[in-house]
Amino acid sequence: RLLSSSIKPEIQSHVTLLDNTYLKDDFSNVTDKIISHLGRNIYTKEHHPLSHVRQRMVNYFYKRFVNRRGNPFFSVYDSLSPIVSLDQNFDSLLTPKDHPSRSKTDCYYLNRDYLLRAHMTAHQSELMRAGLNNFIMVGDVYRRDEIDRTHYPVFHQLDAVRLKTREELFPRDDTLQIFEVGNNTQSTGTQQKQACHTLEAVKLMEHELKTTLAGLAKQLFGEKIEYRWIDTYFPFTQPSWELEVFHENNWLELLGCGIMRQPILTNAGIVDRIGWAFGIGLERVAMCLYKIPDIRLFWSQDTGFLNQFKVKCDENVTYKSVSQFPQCVNDLSFWLPQDKEFASNDFYDLARNIGGDIIEQVVLVDEFTHPKTGKTSHCYRIIYRHMERTLIQSEVNIIHKEIAKVAASALGVQIR
């Protein structure tokens, strides 16, 4: 008898995510591989390329929107839980019940009530209800998709919302209004505007939105960047646009935006404001800015990737491809000579001299001085990686021993 036929795979009735337990049902389709991304928070890690891009965008908003005291008035929310209700992701944003974006083939559902957010817009209503008028939301979003150079089922978005009162919109003219008299939020209006809004309010909001986002594109890609606006549709904005930029001979969709549908505001208890909103993907921007060829690299824990971004957030970096073959990591500790100078750079040169191109990095990882003898110890981590093949630990050991031997004789260090 075949063993496999008598052992049934254990079917778990629940899934535990970020300390909460969710009962599975016929909607559950989230996999362990996807779950392993929750809580990684790569977009908040210092020096991560996504963190740099996020900071560049946030800094742009901080600079552009300041109050009379010169202080920024956008606030940033970057630790909102990626587990959201169907109400947050869809209903509160007026997404029709039969809209394809709700489909099980497009989203990761925990069950019929909860899913992994498919966009950062999912948090719009709750933050407005909390009383915020100008805010930015950043985080990881989840969509079922193929895995290739530009698609990954987990990516990151930055969303923003700006709400304005009549006085803020028309400070010098109190005859101008946001809302049409007898405004009817049920009527849908036209491609140009919602029925409830006055044309002048929409045009002024559109102008601020578009100049703000064109300014953002210039801030990211340089003053000379070519861009264009494409009319589009979102359930939660009307009118709606996409911003495309011309990059390396292609038009690239950067973001979606629009004038917020008024019932979203009304349902959140806001009756006297009009709003604009947008959502932009971080990976796409980072891939262009840094010439990162593959979206999977953002999840790399490989220091050969990460160390290239140990710069200030607005510094230019051009990513240099690291070999796909695995690293071999060996540490070397020694006492520094007491009778002559020692410089780390000497050791770096020596190591490179002996190891050649298979040495990818040498990093000083520990340094201490013995309290009694006064002797100082350094520990260097040498990361070996061949560009064309997988290194065998035994061949690395030979080189590593040789480096130790030559360091002892040439630099006068004492191997520990």
Contact footprint for ligand FA5 (CB under 6 A)? 119, 121, 145, 151, 155, 157, 159, 234, 236-237, 253-258, 277-281, 283-284
Question: 49 is in the binding site of which of ligand FA5, Mg ion, none (Cβ under 5 to 8 A by kind)?
Answer: none
* Angstrom distances, CA of residue 134 to CA of 8, 202, 234, 275, 293: 53, 18, 21, 9, 34
Question: 145 is in the binding site of which of ligand FA5, Mg ion, none (Cβ under 5 to 8 A by kind)?
Answer: ligand FA5
Here's the x/- map for Mg ion, 41-60, by CB under 5 A: it reads as --------------------
Q: How far is the CB of 256 from Mg ion (least distance, A)?
A: 5
Helices (H) and strands (E) in the chain, counts: 12, 15
Helix 49-64 / helix 199-221 crossing angle, nearest 10 deg = 130
Closer to ligand FA5 by CB, 140 or 159: give it: 159
In this structure, which long-range contacts are made by residues 215-218, counting pairs with CB atoms below 8 Å and at least 24 apart in sequence? Answer: 215/60, 215/64, 216/57, 216/60, 216/280, 217/243, 217/245, 217/254
Closer to Mg ion by CB, 196 or 213: give it: 213
- Characterize the bridge pairing of strands 114-116 and 83-85: antiparallel
Q: How far is the CB of 264 from ligand FA5 (least distance, A)?
A: 10
User: What part of residues 237-276 is at the interface with Mg ion (CB under 5 A)?
Assistant: 256
Closer to ligand FA5 by CB, 201 or 295: give it: 295
Chain center to CA of 202? 31
Between CA 140 and CA 154 the distance in angstroms is: 7
Closer to Mg ion by CB, 139 or 256: give it: 256
Closer to Mg ion by CB, 56 or 143: give it: 143
111 contacts 23 by C-beta, under 8 angstroms = yes
Q: Where are the beta strands (DSSP E) in 82-133?
A: 83-85, 114-116
Q: How far is the CB of 223 from Mg ion (least distance, A)?
A: 25
Question: 254 is in the binding site of which of Mg ion, ligand FA5, none (Cβ under 5 to 8 A by kind)?
Answer: ligand FA5
Q: How far is the CB of 388 from Mg ion (least distance, A)?
A: 40
Q: How far is the CB of 255 from Mg ion (least distance, A)?
A: 8
* H-run or E-run covering 410: helix 393-411
Residue 223: exposed, middle, or buried by beta-carbon count in 10 A (0-12, 13-18, 19+)?
Answer: exposed
Closer to Mg ion by CB, 239 or 256: give it: 256
Q: How far is the CB of 18 from ligand FA5 (least distance, A)?
A: 22
List contacts with Mg ion (CB under 5 A): 256
